[in-house]
Amino acid sequence: MNRRTLLWIAAAIALVLAVVSASAEGGFRRYLKLSRDLAALREKNLKLAQKNAQLVAEIAALHKSPDAQEQAAREELGYVKPRELIFTLER
């Protein structure tokens, strides 16, 4: 066989392998799916990091500020001061 024939055979084999890789479950489609999953997980991780920073700031405020403690007790636990009236309005 001459070099040209070997080149065409090698190109055909490479084409067949590329098609098999693109269509195989563990091939290129899996790579694309994992890339999308990774991007989604990175976005979720970023949102969780932001929420974590917000909670850390809230904890620091609760440690330092009696006003923040009072606000948290009122909002989250429903505490009221003595002789204080609470009116709940429904929409």
* Model confidence, pTM: 0.57
**Is the four-CA dihedral 84, 89, 90, 91 of positive or negative sign?**
negative
Inform me whether the pLDDT recorded for 2 exceeds 90: no
Query: Do residues 8 and 15 make contact, with C-beta atoms less than 8 angstroms apart?
Result: no
Using one digit for the tens of pLDDT, what is the confidence trace for 20-71? 777 766 777 788 889 999 999 999 999 999 999 999 999 999 999 999 998 8
What pLDDT is stored for residue 19 in this prediction? 80
Could you give the CA distance from residue 20 to residue 14 in angstroms, rounded to a whole number? 10
Using one digit for the tens of pLDDT, what is the confidence trace for 59-78? 999 999 999 998 888 888 88
Q: Where are the domains of the chain?
A: 3-77
